[in-house]
Amino acid sequence: MTSKASSNSRKSQKLWVNFVISGEPAEVFRQLKERGIVHSTRDAFTQGIMCLQERIVRSDLKKAQLEATKSLKERGYHG
Residue 51 confidence (pLDDT): 98
| Confidence class for position 1, pLDDT limits 50, 70, 90 | low
Residue 6 confidence (pLDDT): 53
Q: Mind listing the pLDDT tens digit for each residue in 8-42?
A: 546 678 999 999 999 999 999 999 999 999 999 99
Cα atoms in the Cβ-side hemisphere of radius 13 Å centred on 42: 3
Q: What is the pTM of this model?
A: 0.69
Where residue 76 falls (left for φ over 0; alpha for ψ -120 to 50; beta otherwise) is: left
pLDDT above 70 for 68:
yes
Q: Count H helices and E strands in the chain, helices first.
A: 3, 2
Query: How far apart are the C-alpha atoms of 51 and 56, rounded to whole Å?
Result: 9
| Residue whose C-alpha is closest to residue 46's, from 78, 79, 17 | 17
